[in-house]
A and B are shown apart, each in its own frame.
Chain A
């Protein structure tokens, strides 16, 4: 077990280094940081001085080391566009994205899993067919389209919900939360639903497929042959076996919510990291782009790690020291 954790940690660090490398390359080789920071008619000597003070004339590996060192401390320099430290900007925007992602994650799980179980157990009922049809739509429509259609219906035509922003937020230390006000919740509904829809349909289809697969296994057949009640067979045995592999994939999917949020944030003008990133791309604001990359990379790596560990805890076959079962 310990060996496994150690191995995964090493892997994660490697991935992070690769991400850092990409971010660093962005920083260093795309465009000239100096030109972006000073005016047109700054004399060459001043540029050289600035270059030296920023360590930009050191050999590349050294610069990379510096970059990593600063990145680990959360220092990504100044935003070209906003002339503020990138770390400040990120801290300001992070709560918005995290709250949105959390709401969407809860929503997609709370609706997706039960729907998946139902359509797996009652394959031919009309409700199942309806769910499947709706899920197909959910997978087919791009997120931004759903967002726009929701705005059209609920903001423009019905006027029920606000179409942009977070509503009123309450400041708790450096964290700003929208969970404590009614306005905050109202503003959260549409973006959270939009973000959740795609994940929800994926989760539903996944749970259903896995459930159907499990219901065909020998141990379910044997459970039925032993006369166990439908509840015991379907929920005690089938569901538990379904959820084990589903946990891994779902965990990974939810990690992706953080990244997908950038589309939703753009549609609803939600002031989160995603919107920040889009604006950075349009303005070629490299430090912000690089920082976002590293941060998102970190999120993914951490989530992957947690999900892997969770899988080990949940599936008894994997707990045997050193041996990895061939399940999955």
Chain B
């Protein structure tokens, strides 16, 4: 890892959801860091807490969800306890965000140009004309043809893929150090997905922007990320360099995930899947959250919750790696 301080550092983040039947933990002691220019992927099933983690970083949790503990540091300074205004200045300027559905991410009543200029002028001290020029530049950078004319078009004049490009342009408008991409391609068709991922990769490399890429698609991670964190039931169960996690997963859940991806060239009678389902909030088992479904669970797993520990190239939260003979 780099010797300098990480760009983003999340320590022991906990997010709770007060419900009628008591307060439940949606994110339970999650810690990770992202270095400058690095792409960290976050994978997991729906409901594992990936999007929540992303939202928590820029403090856009929807009530009644609220942060219950932990720290978030950006370039060394805490950002999880800032005033509303201070946090607002960080959003967009130092941390950009891209969300899942491009069809609903843009205000339908304003032209693409107006929304771009508004964002640019919020963060950069540019006049109207300079901002417009920059907006056209941004559109060209994300690959919108005939940018100068299309800048006056409304969002509904663009296809889904084009709109996501506009969204990327908006997220990168003020040159943030970190971009959070929450399932940026899930709502797009396969060929467009590839284009958007390639675009994101290229732009972030060119600008040196770090990316927190949240997705449930392992393929995207394998292609794009430097490191990957696997989430399950609100916790990180494995984290490490992409190649290591994909080729030699150390946590039984990750093993199951990798195993369930069909490979071209192999014939299969049935698709492999992990038995059972991820527990819902409020029904998370004691000890290791994965133990009911784990083919290698033993007594300790039912009782003690494992922390992330070194495991052959990655870090995994699994007692299998706590044996003295297992290094």
A and B physically associate: yes
Tell me if A2 is interfacial: C-beta within 8 Å of chain B: no
Residues of A within 8 A of B122 (CB): 226-229, 232
- Whether A222 contacts B97 in the complex (CB less than 8 A), given A227-B92, A228-B92, A228-B119, comes out as yes
| Contact across chains for A325 and B105 when beta carbons are under 8 A apart | no
Partner of B60 from the list A225, A232, A237 (CB cut-off 8 Å) is A225
Q: Which of A219, A226, A232, A244 is B91 in contact with, Cβ under 8 Å?
A: A226
| Distance in Å: Cβ of A222 to nearest Cβ of chain B | 5
- Given known A-B contacts A225-B58, A225-B99, A228-B92, A218 and B105 have beta carbons under 8 A apart: yes
A307 at the binding interface (Cβ < 8 Å): no
Chain B residues with Cβ under 8 A from A320's Cβ? 156
Where chain A touches its partner, the secondary structure class is helix
B99 engages A226 (CB within 8 Å): no
CB distance from A289 to the nearest CB of B (A): 45
Interchain CB contact (< 8 A) of A316 among B58, B99, B108, B118: B108
Counting contact residues on chain B (CB < 8 A from A), the size range is: 20 to 34
A224 contacts the other chain (Cβ, under 8 Å)? yes
| B158 at interface, CB cutoff 8 A | no
Residues 196-219 of A, flagged 1 when their CB comes within 8 A of B and 0 if not, give 000000000000000000000111
The yes or no answer to A132 lying at the interface (CB within 8 A) is no
CA A317 to CA B174, docked complex, whole Å? 29
Flag whether A88 is at the interface (Cβ < 8 A): no
A315 to B89, CA, bound (A): 31
Query: Does B101 sit at the interface, judged by CB under 8 A?
Result: yes
Residues of B within 8 A of A316 (CB): 108-109, 154, 156
* CA of A241 to CA of B154, assembled, Å: 14
A218 to B40, CA, bound (A): 24
Is B106 a contact of A219 with CB atoms below 8 Å? yes
For the complex, what is the distance from the CA of A225 to the CA of B58, rounded to whole Å? Answer: 7
Contact A226 B171 (CB under 8 A): yes
- How far is B103's CA from A325's CA once the two chains are assembled, in angstroms? 13
Q: Which residues of B contact A327 (CB under 8 A)?
A: 108
Assembly CA distance A325 to B122 (angstroms) = 31
With A232-B118, A241-B108, A316-B154 as known contacts, state yes or no: A226 contacts B101, CB within 8 Å: no
A223 and B171 within 8 A (CB): no
A221 lies within 8 A of chain B by Cβ:
yes
Q: Which residues of B contact A222 (CB under 8 A)?
A: 97, 99, 105-106, 167, 170
**A244 to chain B: which residues have CB within 8 Å?**
109
- State whether A240 touches B109 (Cβ < 8 A): yes
CB nearest neighbor in B for A225? B97
- A240 CA to B118 CA in the complex, in Å? 15
From A219, A240, A241, B105 is in contact (CB under 8 Å) with A219
Give the Cβ gap from A212 to chain B, nearest Cβ, in Å: 13
Given contacts A219-B106, A315-B109, contact A224 B60 (CB under 8 A): yes
The answer, yes or no, to whether B104 is at the interface (CB within 8 Å) is yes
B99 and A224 contacting across the interface, CB-CB below 8 Å: no
Q: Which residues of A contact B167 (CB under 8 A)?
A: 222
Kindly provide the distance from the CB of B72 to the nearest chain A CB, expressed in whole angstroms. 16
Bound Cα distance from A240 to B108, whole angstroms: 10
Query: A222-251: contact bitstring with B at CB < 8 Å (1 yes, 0 no)?
Result: 111111111010001100110010000000
Residue contact B92 to A219, C-beta cutoff 8 Å: no
Q: CB within 8 Å of A: which residues of B? A: 58, 60, 84, 88-93, 96-97, 99, 101, 104-110, 118-119, 122-123, 154, 156, 167, 170-171, 173-174
Q: Which 6 A-B pairs have the closest CB atoms?
A: A227-B92, A227-B91, A225-B97, A218-B104, A226-B92, A219-B107
Can you list 25 A-B contacts with CB-CB less than 8 angstroms, sorted by A residue number? Answer: A218-B104, A218-B105, A219-B104, A219-B106, A219-B107, A219-B108, A221-B99, A222-B105, A225-B92, A226-B91, A226-B96, A227-B93, A227-B119, A227-B174, A228-B118, A228-B119, A229-B88, A230-B84, A232-B122, A240-B107, A240-B109, A241-B107, A244-B109, A316-B154, A320-B156
